[in-house]
Structure 1
Amino acid sequence: MGKIGIYGSSFDPVTNVHLWTASTVAHRCKLDKVIFLPCSSKRKDKVMKTNDEHRWDMLQLALTDNPKFKVDDYEMKSEAWEVYTYFTMEHFKKKYPNDEVYFIMGADLLQDIADGQWKYSEELISTNKFIVMARDGVDMLKTIASSPILRNHDDGTRFHLIDKGLAMEISSTYIREEFARGGEPRYLLPEACYQYIKENSLYK
């Protein structure tokens, strides 16, 4: 049985912090594979700054040298009404029935679930395992303890909390703003992606 982490984000664009985070999580949690899952552009709560083709191409360029990293277009191809994390995890558990599948997320998303902002939250938490990365200002243990949904499904294996060494933050938004304003974010993202953005005049 292998261990697989599902790592969802807009990846608009993918950054070196995305790669470093995935590598660190894979190492600490002994994952055999990390699946990068670019989110759907059909989501009402997300506004992509470039099209799916460019996000997909940049991920392919960024992940080519690491055999543990894969990219999957499941959510990109899903209809808007299907794009919920619960359905996504059901898909990957069926795709990898002989493996343990974990959802990788930041502690801020754990707080959102606790606050009731996610649909199918009860089903999601009760049937899945999570790798939760620390975020500034979020007390992960307190978040779990104060939420009936989270604490009543916390059996000691439900949440793998990573609370040290992941405070490094360089956002895709920052990189987009630098490109838009004529800045120089070259070493904040993979070189191949930097060149791709320049060649295709993205984020202007």
Structure 2
Amino acid sequence: MDTKKIGILGGTFDPPHIGHLIMATEAKFQCNLDEIWFMPSATPPHKNREVTHGEHRIAMVREMIARCEGFEVTEIEFERKGPSYTVDTIQQLKEDHADARFYFIIGGDMVDSLHTWDRIEQLMEMVTFIGVKRPGYEFESPYMDRILTIETPLIGISSTMLRNRFAGGENTKYYVSEEVRKYIEVNGLYEAGRSTENR
């Protein structure tokens, strides 16, 4: 049996947006991956704010990738209690999927902070990192010789910006998929307001 090459894109996805899709798609094609698994974080150890309930974040990712071939959602981080450390998650994935080779997709800011990750040396032995570089940006990491680097167009979208836009009733068209936008509005996520109808 051939070894399946699976890319993991982790995050809070609060909400998931077009930037996540572009990053995943570029990694899939540039690194010749068979599948991309979106992995919403259950209890991100680095977040100091409350995140939207995991049920909603998982549902939004499912809505976003429903028509994307080779894209899936894994709920593995919700199967354990406590903070979600990548090294523990990858260890579990490798045990559950012995026939797969895993690649972990991260943005430039995460590449620069890899040295601060929990048990990073152990993690480096278990997974291949794919660093997504925006044009004109250079990584700074002691692990560069062990990271695959790809370049994507600069997409200046953040989930924080989108939460603020939804709360303020501002335009969100094309920043998130129409399915995700409707899910957010139907479920009243991001409190203070609803986005415009984007007509």
1:177 to 2:164 alignment = yes
> Retained in 1: the 8 A contact 2:26–2:152?
no
Q: SS state of the match for residue 186, structure 1?
A: coil
Aligned to 2:132: 133
Q: SS state of the match for residue 11, structure 1?
A: coil
Question: Can you list the C-alpha shifts for 1:30-81, whole angstroms capped at 9, x where unaligned?
Answer: 11100000011x3342234421111111111111112300001111232115
Aligned to 1:120: 119
Q: SS state of the match for residue 36, structure 2?
A: strand
Q: Which has the higher helix share?
A: 1
Q: 1:68 aligns with which of 67, 70, 76?
A: 70
CA-atom RMSD in angstroms: 1.8
> Retained in 2: the 8 A contact 1:3–1:31?
yes
Aligned to 2:149: 161
Specify whether residues 79 and 135 from structure 1 end up closer, same or farther in structure 2 by C-alpha distance, changes over 3 A only: farther
Question: Can you list the C-alpha shifts for 1:119-144, whole angstroms capped at 9, x where unaligned?
Answer: 1112112332111111578522xx24
Question: Can you list the C-alpha shifts for 1:81-103, whole angstroms capped at 9, x where unaligned?
Answer: 5x211111112222221222111
> Retained in 1: the 8 A contact 2:62–2:73?
yes
Aligned to 1:102: 103
Q: How many residues align?
A: 188
Per mean C-alpha deviation after superposition, the further-off stretch among 7-16 and 118-127 is 118-127
| Matched-pair identity in % | 31
> Retained in 2: the 8 A contact 1:108–1:138?
no
Aligned to 2:90: 89
> Retained in 2: the 8 A contact 1:37–1:72?
yes
Q: 1:29 aligns with which of 9, 27, 31?
A: 31
Specify whether residues 165 and 137 from structure 1 end up closer, same or farther in structure 2 by C-alpha distance, changes over 3 A only: closer
1:200 to 2:187 alignment = yes
- Give the aligned residue type for 1:18: H
| Separation in 2, partners of 1:49, 1:86 | 21
| Separation in 2, partners of 1:96, 1:67 | 20
Unpaired segments of 5 or more residues in structure 1?
Answer: none
Q: If the length of structure 2 is used for normalisation, what is the TM-score? A: 0.87
CA apart distance, 1:113: 1.7
Q: If the length of structure 1 is used for normalisation, what is the TM-score? A: 0.85
Unpaired segments of 5 or more residues in structure 2?
Answer: 192-199
Aligned to 1:187: 174
Q: SS state of the match for residue 78, structure 1?
A: coil
> Retained in 2: the 8 A contact 1:14–1:59?
yes
Q: 2:40 aligns with which of 18, 35, 38?
A: 38
